[in-house]
């Protein structure tokens, strides 16, 4: 189970860590897509039948409340 940081310094550091990861995901989304969905997968899935490639980040209720 997730434990909320008790120290104010740890709390701020945790928030910074999560936000930097989300920012990296947003700025480098093409790298994430290239790693997860290479072009061969589109052909294998049918290409035209597969849903569009999107990236979403679900943080969960606890972390969303912290941020």
- As a dihedral over the C-alpha atoms of residue 23, residue 24, residue 26, residue 31, rounded to 10 degrees, the angle is 180
Q: Is residue 1 part of a domain?
A: no
Say yes or no to pLDDT of 13 above 70.
yes
pLDDT value at residue 47: 54
pLDDT at 39: 67
Q: State the total domains in the chain.
A: 1
The answer as to whether 35 is a domain residue is: yes
Which residue segment(s) compose the domain that 17 sits in?
8-66
- 54 lies in some domain: yes
Band (pLDDT 50/70/90 cuts) for residue 40 is low
On whether residue 28 sits in a domain, the answer given is yes
Please compute the mean of the pLDDT values over residues 35-63 and round it to a whole number: 68
pTM of the model: 0.58
Q: Which run of H or of E encompasses 21?
A: helix 8-27
The residue among 65 and 43 whose pLDDT is bigger is 65
């Amino acid at each position: 189970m997730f434990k909320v940081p008790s120290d104010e310094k740890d709390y701020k550091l945790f928030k910074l860590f999560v936000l930097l990861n989300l920012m990296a995901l947003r700025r480098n989304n093409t790298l994430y897509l290239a790693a997860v969905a290479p072009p061969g997968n589109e052909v294998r899935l049918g290409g035209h039948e597969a849903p569009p490639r999107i990236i979403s980040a679900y943080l969960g209720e606890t972390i969303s409340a912290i941020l």
